[in-house]
Chains A and B, each alone.
Chain A
């Protein structure tokens, strides 16, 4: 008995449409965020994260409507990331029905933004997203650095130090993506995940690299994550959320079924 570890499917949204080909049996519209969110809710998703990858800021307003639509019909927590740069952006998303916003590059550009957002809206709704990559050589003490621009641009910031700092600034949660693993299906970077999770007092969501259900369980058991986020293994219907939870439960992890 106790708090369940969470499974969070992540949807990329471009100009109001879910991209990267979500595949469900008999879905009417594979790009409709509301329909997909409803499916994930029915499968037992603990939360849903939307990542707005819309390139043009002119089209950003579309995401607000997406969140409004989803939040009117799906009654589990929703997180929105991508393009959250000002307190106004945070407010707009929360008012639309998001429970949390995920802040990434804006925090690196100006760390105080995280403090201001947490003070204004409460720690519980501020997620800091960290994209990290290993920068040590074999045999050296492990070290991970924050990268921006989809993993192309190094910042020189140590990921563990940064996580501690964001914790101190009032972040309510960390969304950690191991950029060397993202899209590889080789599993989370467990060493990185564990280092961050042990460095902070707030929950950590592990992301990047999930290819099997065992990877999800390892993120919790070995990476010490509080939640796991994945996209493709759920979108391409390789596994349902429920299958993932049954698997985690069989490995001794407490889940909501």
Chain B
């Protein structure tokens, strides 16, 4: 039986992620864990996160998981969710500036004061609700998901990849930002597939089957 470890480092509720994976992959063992060995031995790893990036980096260090996350991100199917992909980049503007894991090159930037350039209307931050993800390139995790499908987002900071080739999905909120980035065995999304109904469940099912 293959296994998926969801890294539990105290940043947000992981129950929904686990339940959604159990629903789409009944033959996979899903474990929510902060145990280093569990994470390193799992076939696949999910790196979720909610809250602020400073707390995220601090909690990873507190649970002695920083190097484990880096290692898993280098050698096995690895799915980052919401704050997860932000933590994978080099640096975040949040909390006055925080150094992140630097697994992928890029920065995390605040949305700030946004206006819709078409209408001049103010755009609310956090960017909250269902927005479209435009698939920039084909990827096994997009399989069976219609182009421009909607996913559920809630965030105030966005991913700014240093390498445009890493961006596999983008979303428009006053401008186009990277909503999905990928490289080799890593796939990381700004939205919440576990809260994105059918499209989200399909993405999680694809991850459970993914052999990069």
B39-47, B65-73, B146-154, B160-168: which lies at the interface: B146-154
Interface size of A in residues (CB-CB distance below 8 Å): 35
B84-92, B101-109, B136-144, B190-198: which lies at the interface: B190-198
Of A72, A75, A97, chain B has the most CB atoms within 10 Å of the CB of: A75
Q: Quick check: is B3 within 8 A (CB to CB) of the other chain?
A: no
Contacting pair B126 A123 (CB below 8 A)? yes
Alpha-carbon gap, A71 to B194, bound state (A): 10
Q: Quick check: is A243 within 8 A (CB to CB) of the other chain?
A: no
Q: Quick check: is A87 within 8 A (CB to CB) of the other chain?
A: no
Which of A75, A125, A204, A226 contacts B197 (CB under 8 A)? A75
CB distance from A190 to the nearest CB of B (A): 16
Alpha-carbon gap, A4 to B19, bound state (A): 26
CB distance from A106 to the nearest CB of B (A): 20
Contacting pair B195 A99 (CB below 8 A)? yes
Contacting pair B16 A97 (CB below 8 A)? yes
Alpha-carbon gap, A155 to B200, bound state (A): 43
Contacting pair A201 B125 (CB below 8 A)? yes
Alpha-carbon gap, A72 to B13, bound state (A): 13
Residues 202-231 of A, flagged 1 when their CB comes within 8 A of B and 0 if not, give 111000000000000000000000110000
Q: Quick check: is A181 within 8 A (CB to CB) of the other chain?
A: no
Query: Which residues 3-57 of A have a CB within 8 angstroms of B?
Result: 3-6, 41, 46
Q: Quick check: is A172 within 8 A (CB to CB) of the other chain?
A: yes
Which of A73, A75, A95, A122 contacts B196 (CB under 8 A)? A75
Q: Quick check: is B29 within 8 A (CB to CB) of the other chain?
A: no
Q: Taking CB as reference atom, which chain B residue is nearest A121?
A: B51
Q: Quick check: is A96 within 8 A (CB to CB) of the other chain?
A: yes
Q: Quick check: is A111 within 8 A (CB to CB) of the other chain?
A: no
Contacting pair A172 B131 (CB below 8 A)? no
Q: Quick check: is A76 within 8 A (CB to CB) of the other chain?
A: yes
Q: Taking CB as reference atom, which chain B residue is nearest A124?
A: B154
B15 surroundings in chain A (CB, below 8 A): 68, 71-72, 95-97
Which of B173, B192, B197 contacts A3 (CB under 8 A)? B173
Alpha-carbon gap, A124 to B11, bound state (A): 13
Q: Quick check: is A2 within 8 A (CB to CB) of the other chain?
A: yes
Query: A75-B20, A97-B19, A125-B50 are known contacts. Are A202 and B124 too (CB-CB below 8 A)?
Result: yes
Which of A4, A75, A204, A227 contacts B150 (CB under 8 A)? A4
Query: Which residues 69-98 of A have a CB within 8 angstroms of B?
Result: 71-73, 75-77, 94-98
B194 surroundings in chain A (CB, below 8 A): 75
Contacting pair A72 B130 (CB below 8 A)? no
Query: Which residues 107-133 of B have a CB within 8 angstroms of A?
Result: 116, 122-132
Contacting pair A76 B51 (CB below 8 A)? no
Q: Quick check: is A143 within 8 A (CB to CB) of the other chain?
A: no
CB distance from A94 to the nearest CB of B (A): 5
Query: A172-B126, A203-B124 are known contacts. Are A1 and B172 too (CB-CB below 8 A)?
Result: yes
Contacting pair A6 B154 (CB below 8 A)? no
Contacting pair A4 B173 (CB below 8 A)? no
Q: Which 10 A-B pairs have the closest CB atoms?
A: A122-B51, A256-B130, A124-B154, A4-B130, A203-B124, A72-B19, A3-B131, A256-B150, A94-B13, A77-B195
Binding site for B on A (CB under 8 A): 1-6, 41, 46, 68, 71-73, 75-77, 94-99, 121-125, 172-173, 201-204, 226-227, 256
Binding site for A on B (CB under 8 A): 12-13, 15-16, 19-20, 23, 50-52, 116, 122-132, 134, 148, 150, 152-156, 172-173, 192, 194-197, 200-201
Extra contacts besides A76-B152, A226-B129 (20): CB < 8 Å: A1-B134, A1-B172, A3-B129, A46-B129, A71-B16, A72-B15, A75-B195, A96-B15, A97-B15, A121-B51, A122-B50, A123-B126, A123-B156, A124-B154, A125-B50, A172-B126, A173-B126, A203-B124, A203-B129, A256-B150
Give 8 A-B contacts (CB < 8 Å), ordered by A residue: A6-B130, A46-B130, A75-B19, A75-B197, A75-B201, A202-B124, A204-B124, A226-B129
